[in-house]
Structure 1
Amino acid sequence: MEPFVVQAQKTNEDQPVLLTIANWMSAFPEITAGFTTRLGGVSEAPFTSLNCGLHVNDRPSDVVRNRERIADVLGQPFDAFTYAEQVHGKEIAIVSLNEQGMGRTSRETALQATDGFITKESGIVLCAQFADCVPLYFYDPVQRVVGLAHAGWKGTVLNISMATISLMTHTFGSRPSDIRAAIGPSIGACCYEVDETVASRVRQVFEEIQMTQVEQEAIITNKGNHKYQLNLQELNRKLIEQAGILSSHIEVTQLCTSCRTDLFFSHRKESGSTGRMIAWIGLT
């Protein structure tokens, strides 16, 4: 069953259409977690219409209005939403009330050079931006810690999932066996062709975690001529398992951002001229 489901149907042209992690919303009413679509905002083409990225040459006032509308639909104060400037690394920030709301209206005030964050504070909603890369969500219901990470191919081979889980463990005493994880909408193996440079880095990861041949074949397929199809979602799932999270505690989407440009922005499918969705998670 698809874990990401529509949270609010669009009732007019201005209301954002959002996806939430349905099982989590039912089991853990103390959190909010999900993924935006491209529908229900005020941005004009080619950012039509719920663009949440301030770095894509959209009108900043439209982006901020879109972000405000998302907060309204979720019933959360806009001041709670906290953003980072992502650099395809594996730097994870610990967010306190001192950082609450950073980056929500400008890039300059965002957490700099950060691709993931964790928090134990209620009233903070962590937000990361996506248009094909893989959103990784984490929640420890025992210690009540949430985490969010941005995993493109670079962040994935740097094992940003392990970095996030380790920081939750060392900072807040989380046990991997207690943590829930979710892998959100992103480009699927059906659409993600990579070259030898990327494939060679992925093979290094296979060696590092001693992945079996069968497991490797589920992640990367040689198409010939130094081209490969890469299942970035499955690679992240295996890395999350390697970090100690139970397979039964991992939710994985079937939604491909490149296949579904009616619903999502896709940097690759739309040749780089497009908007950004956000993944969000927070303790309400």
Structure 2
Amino acid sequence: MDNVTVIKRKDASRPVMRQTVINGAEYLAFPAIEETGVVRHLMSTRLGGVSEGDLWSMNVSFSRGDKTENVNENYRRIAAALGCTPEDFVFSDQTHTTNIRHVTEADKGKGLLRPRDYTDVDGMITDEPGIVLSTFYADCVPLLFVDPMKRAVGLSHSGWKGTAGGMGRKTVEAMEKAFGSRPEDILVGIGPSICQDCYEVSEDVAEAFRNLLSGEEMKKVKTITEEQILKDKRNGKYQLDLWKANEAVCLSAGIRPEHISVTDICTCCNPGYLFSHRASNGKRGNLGMFVVLN
């Protein structure tokens, strides 16, 4: 492996993502999920692409003002790193919902090489090999679900609205319904996003999380408290921990604590390494999380 970029980590005691350099581009991955041998996955960083300006260099969005040929080249590099082709990718259509699509072979290429015939999809699941599920980020939370028993996978985008809506639990429930997955078998990766120290929110967002945490499903979670998720600054503002909140949602869905890998990497603390909407005041590209069943 080539030299690895030094990044600022929030908590070295947490399970961390591994940095990998492939053909000059740097990616992040969850070792616990890699070790299953069921999937190939990676999260892009800013390093190793061809985009320029505020979008340098591995931007994966066509809607941020980048040149189409630059984004296409970035996808060719990501596809090569995954051992796939651009024809294998399927894109979400993220609008901060908790809608989940069961993706099949017929969806290949949608979003990248041909138009999507669906809207308002923030999560995807599949049990078919060779399909690259693709979701996009610049401070929101990537949620990766792998069931090594049923050989099924889910990938969801969870911003504050998705998290407050229980996106993690809804993805698990979708996998249960579609594939017969058992929550106790599923491994989860909670990926890089804005951390609690960087994420100040207002009273309306705090209230949405109080409503989430007061739900019957969440009352089963004894190890994570409201005070950990919402730090009250006493001025109508709060520091929100999306990592803890998503961990609690996954626990409420029946995921085993030892099966959850929680990142220690903040997008906002590392704006030269990862795209962050808040750190850049909106002048940024997008990161991608990608997963494909073997």
Query: For the superposition of Structure 1 and Structure 2, which TM-score range results when normalised by the shorter chain?
Result: over 0.9
Measure, in 1, the Cα distance between the counterparts of 2:211 and 2:223. 13
Q: How does 1:41-60 map to 2 (within 5 A)?
A: 41-60=49-68
Distance 2:223 2:189 in 1: 25
Q: Which residue of 2 aligns with 1:21?
A: 30
Aligned to 1:68: 76
The answer to whether residue 117 in structure 2 is matched with residue 104 in structure 1 is no
Q: Which amino acid aligns with 1:272?
A: G
**In the alignment, does 2:238 pair up with 1:228?**
yes
- CA positional deviation for 1:4: 1.3
Distance in 2 separating the partners of 1:269 and 1:145:
35
Q: Secondary structure at the match of 1:259?
A: coil
Q: Following the alignment from structure 2 to structure 1, what is the Cα–Cα distance between the partners of residues 144 and 30? A: 10
Cα distance in 2 for residues equivalent to 1:83 and 1:162:
21
Which residue is 1:4 aligned to?
Answer: 17
Cα distance, 1:246 vs structure 2: 0.3
Unaligned runs of 5+ in 2: 1-13
In 1: Cα distance, 2:56 partner to 2:40 partner: 25
SS of 2:32's partner is helix
Among candidates 240, 243, 252, match of residue 250 of structure 2: 240
Give the corresponding residue for 1:194.
Answer: 201
Counterpart-to-counterpart distance in 1, 2:253 and 2:222 = 17
Q: TM-score, normalised by structure 2?
A: 0.90
Per-residue deviation, 1:111 = 4.3
Deviation digits for residues 33-66 of structure 1, max 9, x if unmatched? 2211011111111101100011212122211211
Matching of residue 131 in structure 1 with residue 138 in structure 2: yes
User: Cα deviation per residue 1:165-212 (whole Å; 9 max; x = unaligned)?
Assistant: 001001110000111111001100010000111011111111112366
What displacement does 1:29 show? 2.0
- Structure 2 distance, partners of 1:127, 1:114, is 11
- Once the two structures are superposed, the pairs formed by residues 156-167 of structure 1 within 5 Å of their partners are 156-167=163-174
CA contact (8 A) 1:264 1:277 kept: yes
Q: Distance in 1 between matches of 2:223 and 2:92?
A: 37
Matched position secondary structure for 1:224: coil
Q: 2:41 aligned with 1:33, yes or no?
A: yes
2:282 alignment partner in structure 1: 272
SS at match of 2:50: coil
Q: CA RMSD in A?
A: 1.6
Spell out the pairing of 1:255-266 with structure 2 (5 A cutoff). Answer: 255-266=265-276
CA distance in 2, matches of 1:23, 1:214: 22
Gaps of 5+ in 1: none
| Percent identity between the two aligned chains | 37
Secondary structure of the residue aligned to 2:25 is coil
Alignment pair present for 1:219 and 2:232: no
Asked if the contact 1:43/1:62 (under 8 Å) is kept, the reply is yes
- Does residue 144 of the first structure (1) align with residue 157 of the second (2)? no
Tell me the amino acid that sits aligned with residue 18 of structure 1: Y
Structure 1 residue 76: Cα displacement: 1.5
- Quick one: distance in 1 between partners of 2:90 and 2:288? 11
**Range with greater deviation from structure 2 (226-235 or 28-37):** 28-37
Asked whether the 8 Å contact 2:49–2:56 carries over to 1, the reply is yes
Separation in structure 2 between the aligned mates of residue 125 and residue 275 of structure 1, nearest angstrom: 20
**Cα offset, 1:105, TM superposition:** 3.7
| Kept after mapping to 2: 8 A contact 1:128/1:148 | yes
Please give the TM-score of this superposition, normalised by the length of structure 1: 0.94
Distance 1:3 1:57 in 2: 32
The worse-fitting range, judged by mean Cα deviation, of 210-219 and 110-119 is 210-219
